[in-house]
Amino acid sequence: MKHIILFKTTRDAIRAQRLCKRNDISCKVIPVPRDISSECGMALEIHNSDLDRITEIVIKNGISHDIYNK
Amino acid sequence: MNHYFDNAATSFPKPKEVSLYMSDYIDKQGGTYGRSAYPRVFEASANVESLREKLASFLGTKNSSQIFFTFNATVGLNTLLFGMDLHDCHILTSPLEHNATMRPLSKLAKEKNITFDYLPHGSDGKIDASKIDSVLKSSTRLIIINHQSNINGVIQPVQKIKAASGRIPVLLDLAQSAGHCDIELDNWDIDFAAFTGHKGLLGPTGTGGIYIKDPDKIEPLIYGGTGSNSDSFEMPSFIPDKYEAGTPNVAGLTGLLGALENRPVPLHTHEDFIELLDNISSIPQLTIFKAKNSNNQGPVFSINHCDYSCSEMAQILYDKYMIETRSGLHCAPLAHKTLGTFPSGTVRFALSVYHAKDDFDYLLSALRSL
Ligand SMILES: Cc1ncc(COP(=O)(O)O)c(C=O)c1O
């Protein structure tokens, strides 16, 4: 199972991707899926098992986000 | 030899990485900022975000999220001054402001019932922070300071001015100082600032930005697409999107990143520069306009000749010595009024890190032989 994290801004998506990289968490930059949002832009796809860690890290860094099950 | 002394207009040369980063972006990398998610776009956008971080440390703030890109300092200053909802109030400015501030301010004065005065200062335009009390009014809502003059290089004592003006917000014009002086937006508790990328920061033209301590206080100037909240006709209220409608100058911003990641070591020292000023001051035909105290002297100064007009002098310097300068009012009539050189103007010399002591010697001998 995978999760998708959505961000308000490109800047936040990039910051989150960098934080994942710095913490050795694998993530993939994907377009925001149309069924989740009409938004264009970047989202991060992550493994279910990393969800808690990533959530903790982005919250700690003040990055607002939404999480969806794929 | 480097005969280019017009670095206050725009700096030249640039670190070689400016064009390398830009040509790499234009020829190979490509991609817009945000709006899609394929690697080309991610990389282009990530460079813009790296620049935001880099600029934050350059400007002395931890809050990189509060830096927003504009196309130069002028657009930045317009964004700040027209976005603040200023009306029916009083504003104080330095006596050495550029028209990038004075023209928006003059429009606000006419249309929004705003009055303005100049901060108390010495004969070189340096603000006297100890006398600020005497010009503050209960209706004073903003203090605007051009951090470093583009005419005589005076660096204003920003920290003292901020301390002396209590809770009144301070807007700093960093167009000339960024890349030349120490800037500490956080420690000085600055509310607003505008900078440009193509002068002392050594980046390409078409780059610049603003810093806003509290983004709730400024409405956007430009409205349009941001790649976010696209289902709505309203501008997003969140940052940076609120202030960054439209496709940014990705090529230029990438070049500015190249400049900041590869800052050159200056080829001269401050002492070399002050020695040059002292030597020029002793030429009897010339009047020099510089800071009274060399501690607050930035790398810009002006001169006038007793016989030649400033435009004649600039032409002679170029024709005989290939020395490039700018004569006239330098878009800063207020500064020239303060210094007593309005409307005739001056010839301005603006240095860069790429001047060596030899270049100063060459300039000095040219000025001596005028
Ligand atoms: C003090 C000052 N403020 C603002 C500006 C405007 O900068 P830009 O032309 O990059 O918008 C300049 C330079 O032209 C300047 O010297």
pLDDT bin (cut points 50, 70, 90) of residue A69 is confident
B98 lines ligand 1 (CB under 6 A): yes
pLDDT over 80 (residue A70): no
Q: Among B331, B334, B336, B348, which residue has the most ligand 1 atoms within 8 Å of its CB, making it the best to mutate? A: B331
Q: Which of A8, A40, A43 sits opposite B35 (nearest CB)?
A: A40
Render pLDDT for A19-60 as a digit per residue (tens, 0 to 9).
999 999 999 999 888 888 767 689 999 999 999 999 999 999
**Interface contact flag, B228 A8, Cβ < 8 Å:** yes
Domain B270-369, CATH 3.20.20.110 — does that match? Answer: no
Contacting residues of A for B227, CB less than 8 Å apart? 10, 40-41
Size of interface A-B (CB pairs under 8 A): 62
Contacting residues of B for A6, CB less than 8 Å apart? none
Domains of chain A by start residue, with CATH: 2-64 (3.30.70.1530)
The predicted pLDDT at position A38 comes to: 66
B79 lines ligand 1 (CB under 6 A): no
CA B175 to ligand 1 center in whole angstroms: 5
**Interface contact flag, A41 B35, Cβ < 8 Å:** yes
The predicted pLDDT at position A33 comes to: 87
The predicted pLDDT at position B181 comes to: 95
- Give the Cα separation of A15 and A68 in Å (integer): 19
The predicted pLDDT at position B312 comes to: 94
Where in the sequence of chain B do the CATH 3.40.640.10 domains occur?
16-261
Q: What share of chain B is helix, strand, coil (3-state, %, to 5)?
A: 35, 15, 45
- Answer whether 0.90 is exceeded by the pTM: yes
CA B125 to chain centre: 17
Where in the sequence of chain B do the CATH 3.90.1150.10 domains occur?
270-369
Alpha helix segments (H runs only) across A1-70: 10-22, 51-60
- Which chain B residue has its CA at the smallest distance from A28's CA? B37
CATH for the B16-261 domain, from 3.40.640.10, 2.30.30.60, 2.170.130.30, 3.30.540.10: 3.40.640.10
Which residue positions in chain B have pLDDT lower than 50? none
Q: To the nearest whole angstrom, how far is the Cα of B69 from the nearest Cα of chain A?
A: 13
Sheet holding B286-289, edge to edge: B286-289, B300-305, B346-350, B326-328
**Dihedral angle sign, alpha carbons of residues B89, B93, B95, B101:** negative
Select the residue from A5, A6, A9, A44 to test the B interface by mutation, using most B Cβ atoms within 10 A. Answer: A9
